[in-house]
Structure 1
Amino acid sequence: MIIWGIRKYSIYTDIDHGIQCPHCSDKEEGVELEVSRKHLRIFWIPTLAFRKKLSLRCLNCGSKIKLKSLRDSEQVRLMNLKGKHRAPLWQFSGLFVLAIFIAIMIPVIQNSNAADLEKIKNPEMGYYLRYRVPGGGYSSYYIESVSKDTVLLRPLELSSRKMTRLYQIEKLENHSDSLIYWSKSDLLQEYTDGSIYGIRVD
Structure 2
Amino acid sequence: MPDQLQLQYKNIKGNVKGPTWQFSGLLLLICLFGLIIYTTGRDKLNTKLYLSEPEIGDIYKYRVYNGNYSTMKLVSITQDSLFLSLNDYEISKRSRIYKIDKPENYPDTYFGYSKHEISLMEKDGTILEINRD
- The answer, yes or no, to whether TM exceeds 0.5 is yes
1:110 pairs with 2:41: yes
In 2, distance between residues paired with 1:186 and 1:156? Answer: 19
2:10 maps to what in 1?
Answer: none
> Structure 2 length as normaliser, TM-score?
0.73
Show CA shifts across 1:82-135 (max 9, x none). Answer: xxxxxx687665444322322343233222211121001111111111111223
What SS does the aligned partner of 1:160 have? Answer: coil
How big is the shift at 1:157? 1.3
Identity %: 30
1:142 maps to what in 2?
Answer: 73
Instruction: Give the conservation status (yes or no) of the 8 Å contact 1:142–1:172.
Output: no
In 1, distance between residues paired with 2:95 and 2:37? Answer: 20
How big is the shift at 1:187? 0.9
Report 1:122-161 matches (<5 A): 122-161=53-92
In terms of mean alpha carbon deviation, does 118-127 or 166-175 score higher? 166-175
Show CA shifts across 1:145-183 (max 9, x none). Answer: 001110011111111122233222222321233321111
> Structure 1 length as normaliser, TM-score?
0.50
In 2, distance between residues paired with 1:189 and 1:91? Answer: 49
Cα RMSD after superposing both structures? 2.3
Runs of 4+ in 1 over 4 A off after TM superposition: 88-93
What SS does the aligned partner of 1:126 have? Answer: coil
In 2, distance between residues paired with 1:141 and 1:182? Answer: 12
Residue among 101, 108, 115 paired with 1:170: 101
Give the total of aligned pairs: 117
In 2, distance between residues paired with 1:177 and 1:142? Answer: 11
Residue among 183, 186, 201 paired with 2:114: 183
- Structure-2 change in CA distance of 1:90 and 1:115 (3 Å): same
In 2, distance between residues paired with 1:180 and 1:127? Answer: 15
User: Greater share of helix residues, 1 or 2?
Assistant: 2
Output the amino acid matched with 2:88: E
Report 1:67-86 matches (<5 A): none
1:57 maps to what in 2?
Answer: none
In 1, distance between residues paired with 2:120 and 2:74? Answer: 17
Larger RCO (alpha carbons 8 Å, 6+ apart)? 2
Structure 1 gaps of 5+ residues are 1-15, 18-87
Structure 2 gaps of 5+ residues are 3-17
- Structure-2 change in CA distance of 1:101 and 1:168 (3 Å): closer
Q: Which has the larger radius of gyration?
A: 1
User: Greater share of strand residues, 1 or 2?
Assistant: 1
